[in-house]
């Protein structure tokens, strides 16, 4: 973008508007608008689909009206309005085209209901198009005005709007969580729409927006004073405060399945399994910098080891019938062995080649599980059924709410291990390899053992996750272990921040939790992951919760210009 | 004495050689047993070979895209498989329309040329957009970064096409003029295979001449040698990179049509497996090396079509064809381990690998 600053402002505004319009047409044609239209943000007023389009116009107008600091206001307003107008006109073009010829022959999502959304359910096309253009321009104009608002207020308003939208989206989560407290949940019922899929009510949205904005404003203006007072407390009290926070978090995690009910516990369990895998891959990719695209192989091996060892009956010849707790160490051991065995051949291979080779390994494992060749032992495409659930003192833990504790324990152990490893001798060796393999070797780091340890530790977490997954579902099929799982895990550690432990948790919550809660998202999950990976790498390669060292490393190239690959 | 000898041997080297020897042993024993059993006639073997060459030429065309981009940017263009898919998938609608209107039957040659044009144009558009949005801003970033955007772009494109055209398999219309086959004794080749092999060969010849004998080709070679020096010599590096993406994408688009008339099925996910195979082919021939990609493609095609039967049938493996991808990936691993420079590559030191 920096090369284009010498263009005239209106050309730039038109260009931005065209890009925005193309994006708007694209999200309409791939069905996102229509599928998001099912869910209301504010009951009866505005849907998620409309919010998506609105957000597009706002984003692109914001960028086109940003200018430099001394850009005069009229120019900003004109840029914003022009961008909004152009974006709107491309959407209008889509409607006109759709009315003229049947786009549905090619684009499956160019359905009548899409046009209905784009024309605001207006029968008369001309009026609808006028509305579309005017709305675009007005929104663009209003967006440009944002630049005039003082920074503190701007931030407060934006976070107010964001939180209100988030609460509207996640209202299911709130409502289910509040069911054990009928009194309380009744008293805030007015905040939400009356039917299931509806978000906040108009009043609710207003209240949330005002409260959040006010809180944000005060925390921005007075927050420093409060934080200063906390910092002035004696060290003992501060430590006690911190421990109380941790204690509260722990207590919350323990009682969570009781509040959450089976559905949300199930969602938490999926998140937990991905946190486990994320922690494992984080060691391989985040700590040691070895890009592994076949991570699903270890997950699969853990699951299949657990399945073969504990299955009761079924088609396969294995007949071990161990319990979950007996099989668990063996499953982890199996994954670790696989990690070492797969690790040895790829020790000398770096970077891109490593990515492709590990991807190949992941596929090899899946194809082997699927093949007729191993069918007598692993069940081929029918998989393995009747896997024993974990037991605790004789009671099987086979409901989501009880399994939650097994997964929580696994996550805590893995977190502890990953945390302790991070700054240990081996952890520092991993980081050294990540930064420069040759220098690390010159410093006396044994590349063989260090890399193999990274693969083995990563594999252990993956195997643990897979083993729990197998007994959670009580069946395993080769189709559960496709490349997409690896990509999913990779995306979550990249979004969270490579090498950062809280990043893994945040990443899993965002990329696994959100799509589970919002069915509309899950359809476009991989598309959104793709965009996320690109956007994160372009703007924030260190992730949302970056690890300090890694951040420094990634921004090194901003100052020093070494030719890539040399 | 013994101590020094033991110190010199690396544990990993031993492990590697053991793995390599075991695999080669397996292949040799399997082949001998299969041939000794003699369950397959000469004609069948020839069929496998012809099929392998046809399949291999498609791989080679896609592999050229990987190789060209790798040669210049030193990155794996992960989204290349989606460039291949996008062209073939988009051209389906033209093919369908032409089949319905009878144009395909009346003017088969022109119709196929139109299909090629549409697929290549779409692929070029996708390839250039990906380069502009996902790769160009990251020219100077650490190497892991563009690789991750490439993976992101690949998934974005797959699911965009799924959203646009739906997730079903679309059946390409049958081309009447390409039915049937030519036979000469035990040698049998279908007309489609002739078209595939001939057009792939022509395209590759064209590319080779372009890169070797035109000024732009010379500039491309210069940029792949050293970007900074090339820029000092007055070459517009960005323009050359875009042109490289254009050529690679056009070849992928053409490969898409050849794939579509061979297998007559397209889908948003169709690029994944051929993409990885083509990458394997590029590595096999020596990545960054244009004749290498061609040789690697054909070699991989042959290996994949003859291999499963030849190596595994004698070992009593049921349904060996299910394992053809395993064979291809194992081949990739072995090549990277024992000859990372590929069949034709000569100098691929660790700085590039």
Per-residue pLDDT tens digits of chain A, which is 566 residues long: 444 455 677 788 888 888 888 888 888 888 887 777 777 777 777 777 788 888 888 888 888 777 766 777 777 888 888 888 888 888 888 888 877 777 777 787 777 777 777 777 777 778 878 888 888 888 888 888 877 777 778 888 888 888 888 887 777 777 777 777 777 777 777 777 666 556 777 777 888 888 888 888 887 777 777 777 777 777 888 888 888 888 888 888 888 887 777 888 888 888 999 999 999 999 998 888 888 888 899 999 999 888 888 877 666 666 677 777 888 888 899 899 988 888 887 777 776 778 878 888 888 888 888 877 777 777 777 778 777 778 777 777 778 888 888 889 999 999 999 999 888 889 889 988 888 888 888 888 888 888 889 999 999 999 999 999 988 888 888 888 888 888 888 888 888 888 888 889 988 888 888 877 777 777 787 888 888 888 888 887 777 777 766 666 666 555 444 444 33
Q: Would the CA dihedral through A312, A317, A322, A327 be positive or negative?
A: negative
* CATH class in words for A250-554: mainly alpha
Residues A345 and B172: their CA atoms lie apart, in Å, by: 42
Query: To 10 degrees, the CA torsion angle through A102, A103, A104, A108?
Result: -170
Burial of A28 from C-beta contacts in 10 A (0-12 / 13-18 / 19+): buried
B163 and chain A in contact, CB less than 8 A: yes
Q: Do A350 and B322 touch (CB under 8 A)?
A: no
Q: Residues with Cβ < 8 Å from A492, sequence gap 6 or more?
A: A274, A278, A504, A507, A508, A510, A511, A512
- Tracing tokens 């690790």 back to the chain, one arrives at A343
Under 8 Å between Cβ of B176 and B261: no
Task: Give the closest residue to B266 by CA, choosing from B116, B165, B147.
Answer: B165
pLDDT < 50 positions in chain B: 348-353
Answer for the pair A389, A327: CB distance below 8 angstroms, yes or no.
no
Eight-class DSSP state of B324? H
Q: What pLDDT, on the 0 to 100 scale, is given for residue A4?
A: 47
Say if the Cβ atoms of B12 and A355 lie within 8 Å. no
Pull the structure tokens for residue A438.
């040759």
Return the pLDDT at B9.
66
Write down the pTM of the prediction. Answer: 0.84
Chain A residues whose beta carbon lies within 8 Å of the beta carbon of residue B9: none
Task: Tell me, yes or no, if A452 comes closer than 8 A to chain B by beta carbon.
Answer: no
Distance in angstroms (rounded) separating the CA atoms of residues B61 and B51: 16
Shortest CA gap A478–chain B (Å): 14
Helix (H), strand (E) at residue B66: helix B42-73
**Do A557 and B137 count as a contact with CB atoms less than 8 A apart?**
no
Burial of A516 (0-12, 13-18, 19+ CB in 10 A): middle
Q: Which residue has the tokens 């003192």?
A: A393
Q: What is the pLDDT of residue B8?
A: 65
Q: How far is A396 from chain B (nearest CA, A)?
A: 38
Put simply, the chain B residues between 270 and 309 with a CB less than 8 A from any chain A CB are: 272, 276, 279-280, 283
Structural tokens at position A464: 């643990």
Task: Give the burial class of A142: count Cβ atoms within 10 A of its Cβ; 0-12 exposed, 13-18 middle, 19 or more buried.
Answer: middle
d(CA A301, CA A288): 22
pLDDT computed for residue A349 by the predictor: 75
Cβ-based contacts of A446 with chain B (< 8 Å): none
Q: Kindly determine whether residue A541 and residue B145, on different chains, have CB atoms separated by under 8 Å.
A: yes
Which residue, A20, A104, A93, is CA-closest to A62?
A: A20
Q: Are A76 and A84 in contact (CB under 8 A)?
A: no
* Token digits of residue A296: 């699903």
Residue A281 in tokens: 């891959």
Which residue from A498, A532, A534 is spatially nearest to A291, judged by alpha carbons?
A: A498
Interface of A with B in 22-51 (CB under 8 A): 26, 29-32
DSSP string, A148-187: GS-HHHHHHHHHHHHHHHHHHHTHHHHHHHHTT-HHHHHH
Q: Which of B14, B329, B339 is the best residue to mutate to test the A interface, defined by the most A CB atoms within 10 Å of its own CB?
A: B329
**DSSP reduced 3-state for A38:** coil
Q: What are phi and psi of B311, to 5 degrees?
A: -85, -35
Confidence (pLDDT) at A564: 42
Nearest by CB: B15 against A344, A357, A529: A344
Report, in angstroms and rounded to the nearest whole number, the Rg of chain B calculated over CA atoms: 22
Return the pLDDT at A463.
92
Q: What per-residue confidence (pLDDT) applies to B121?
A: 92
What whole-number distance in Å separates Cα of residue A297 and Cα of residue A364?
9
Helix, coil or strand: residue A511: helix
- Which pLDDT score, from 0 to 100, does residue A545 have? 75
How many CB pairs (< 8 A) connect A and B? Answer: 184
Rounded to a whole number of angstroms, the distance from the CA of B184 to the nearest CA of chain A is: 36
Taking CA–CA distances from A366, the nearest residue in chain B reads: B326
CB count in 10 Å sphere of residue B130: 26
Separation of alpha carbons B64 and A100, rounded Å: 41
Backbone Cα Rg of chain A: 27
Which residue reads 């595939």 in tokens? B196
Whole-angstrom distance, CA of residue B109 vs CA of residue A378: 50
> CA B288, CA B73: separation in Å to the nearest integer?
10
- Distance, in Å, from the CA atom of A32 to the CA atom of A108, rounded to the nearest integer, reads 12
Q: How far is B64 from chain A (nearest CA, A)?
A: 17
Contacts of A562 in chain B (CB under 8 A): 140
CB contact under 8 A, A345 and B333: yes
Residue A446, helix vs strand vs coil: coil
Q: Check CB contact under 8 Å for A537 and B148.
A: yes
**Predicted pLDDT of residue A157:** 83
pLDDT score, position A323: 79
B residues 313..352 contacting A (CB < 8 A): 317-319, 322-323, 325-326, 329-330, 332-333, 336-337, 340, 350-352
Cβ-count burial of A491 within 10 angstroms (0-12 exposed, 13-18 middle, 19+ buried)? buried
A368 touches chain B (CB under 8 A): yes
The 8-class DSSP code of residue A476 comes to B
């Amino acid at each position: 973008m920096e090369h284009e600053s010498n263009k005239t402002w209106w050309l730039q505004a038109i260009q931005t508007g065209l890009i925005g319009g193309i994006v708007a047409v694209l999200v309409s044609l791939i069905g996102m608008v229509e599928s998001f239209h099912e869910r209301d943000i504010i009951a009866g007023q505005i849907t998620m689909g409309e919010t998506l389009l609105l957000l597009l116009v706002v984003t692109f107008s914001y960028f086109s009206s940003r200018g430099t600091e001394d850009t005069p206001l009229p120019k900003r307003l004109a840029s914003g309005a022009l961008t909004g107008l152009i974006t709107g006109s491309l959407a209008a073009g889509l409607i006109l085209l759709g009315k003229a010829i049947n786009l549905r022959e090619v684009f499956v999502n160019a359905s009548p209901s899409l046009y209905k959304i784009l024309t605001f359910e207006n029968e008369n096309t001309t009026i609808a198009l006028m509305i579309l253009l005017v709305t675009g321009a007005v929104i663009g104009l209003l967006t440009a005005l944002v630049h005039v608002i003082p920074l503190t207020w701007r931030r407060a308003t934006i976070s107010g709007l964001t939180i209100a939208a988030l609460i509207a989206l996640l209202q299911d989560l709130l409502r289910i969580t509040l069911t054990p407290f009928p009194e309380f949940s009744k008293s805030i019922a007015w905040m939400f729409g009356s039917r299931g899929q509806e978000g906040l009510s108009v009043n609710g949205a207003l209240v949330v927006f005002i409260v959040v904005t006010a809180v944000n404003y005060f925390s921005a203006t007075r927050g420093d004073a409060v934080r200063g007072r906390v910092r002035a407390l004696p060290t003992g009290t501060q430590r006690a405060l911190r421990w109380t926070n941790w204690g509260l978090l722990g207590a919350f995690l323990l009682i969570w399945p009781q509040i959450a009910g089976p559905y949300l516990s199930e969602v938490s369990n999926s998140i937990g399994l991905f946190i486990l895998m994320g922690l494992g891959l984080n060691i391989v990719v985040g700590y040691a910098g070895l890009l592994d695209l076949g991570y699903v192989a270890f997950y699969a091996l853990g699951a299949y080891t657990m399945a073969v060892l504990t299955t009761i009956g079924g088609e396969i010849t294995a007949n071990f019938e161990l319990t979950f707790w007996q099989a668990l160490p063996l499953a982890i051991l199996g994954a670790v062995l696989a990690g070492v065995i797969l690790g040895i051949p790829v020790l000398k291979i770096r970077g891109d080649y490593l990515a492709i080779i590990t991807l190949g390994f992941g596929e090899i494992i899946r194809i082997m599980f699927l093949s007729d060749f191993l069918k007598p032992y692993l069940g081929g495409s029918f998989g393995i059924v009747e896997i024993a659930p974990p037991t605790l003192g004789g009671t099987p833990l086979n409901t989501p709410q009880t399994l939650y504790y097994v997964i929580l324990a696994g996550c805590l152990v893995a977190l502890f291990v990953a945390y302790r490893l991070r700054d240990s001798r081996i952890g520092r060796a991993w980081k050294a390899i990540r930064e420069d393999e040759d220098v690390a070797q010159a410093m006396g780091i044994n590349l063989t053992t260090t890399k193999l340890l990274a693969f083995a530790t990563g594999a252990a977490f993956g195997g643990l996750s897979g083993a729990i997954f197998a007994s959670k579902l009580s069946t395993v099929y080769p189709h559960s272990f496709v490349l997409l799982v690896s990509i999913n895990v990779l995306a979550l550690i990249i979004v969270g921040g490579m090498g950062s432990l809280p990043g893994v948790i945040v990443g899993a919550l965002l990329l696994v939790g959100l799509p589970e809660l919002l069915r509309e998202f899950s359809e476009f999950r991989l598309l959104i992951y793709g965009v996320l990976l690109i956007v994160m790498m372009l703007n924030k390669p260190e992730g949302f919760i970056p690890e300090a060292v890694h951040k420094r490393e990634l921004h090194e190239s901003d100052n020093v210009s070494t030719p890539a690959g040399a | 004495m013994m101590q020094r000898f033991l110190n010199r041997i690396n544990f990993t080297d031993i492990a590697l050689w053991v793995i390599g020897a075991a695999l080669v042993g397996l292949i040799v024993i399997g082949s001998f047993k299969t041939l000794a059993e003699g369950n397959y006639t000469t004609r069948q073997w020839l069929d496998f070979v012809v099929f392998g060459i046809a399949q291999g030429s498609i791989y080679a065309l896609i592999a050229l895209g990987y190789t060209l981009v790798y040669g210049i940017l030193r990155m794996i263009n992960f989204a290349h498989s989606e460039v291949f898919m996008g062209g073939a998938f988009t051209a389906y609608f033209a093919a369908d329309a032409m089949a319905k209107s009878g144009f395909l039957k009346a003017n088969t040659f022109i119709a196929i040329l139109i299909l090629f044009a549409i697929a290549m144009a779409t692929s070029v558009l996708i390839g250039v957009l990906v380069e502009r949005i996902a790769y160009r801003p990251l020219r100077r970033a650490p190497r892991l970064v563009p690789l991750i955007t490439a993976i992101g772009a690949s998934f974005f494109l797959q699911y965009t096409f799924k959203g646009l055209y739906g997730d079903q398999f679309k059946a390409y219309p049958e081309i009447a003029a390409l039915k049937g086959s030519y036979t000469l004794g035990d040698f049998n080749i279908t007309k489609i295979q002739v078209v595939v092999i001939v057009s792939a060969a022509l395209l590759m010849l064209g590319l080779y001449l372009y890169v070797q004998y035109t000024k732009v080709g010379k500039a491309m070679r210069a940029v792949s040698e050293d970007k900074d020096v090339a820029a000092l010599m007055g070459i517009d590096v960005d323009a050359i990179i875009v042109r490289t993406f254009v050529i690679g994408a056009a070849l992928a688009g053409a490969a898409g049509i050849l794939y579509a008339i061979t297998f007559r099925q397209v889908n948003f996910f169709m690029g994944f497996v051929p993409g990885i195979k083509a990458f394997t082919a590029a590595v096999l021939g020596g990545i960054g090396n244009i004749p290498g990609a061609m040789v690697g493609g054909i070699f991989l095609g042959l290996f994949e079509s003859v291999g499963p039967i030849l190596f595994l049938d004698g070992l009593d493996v049921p349904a060996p064809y299910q394992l053809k991808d395993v064979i291809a990936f194992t081949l990739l691993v072995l090549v990277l381990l024992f000859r990372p420079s590929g069949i034709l590559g000569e100098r691929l030191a660790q700085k590039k690998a």
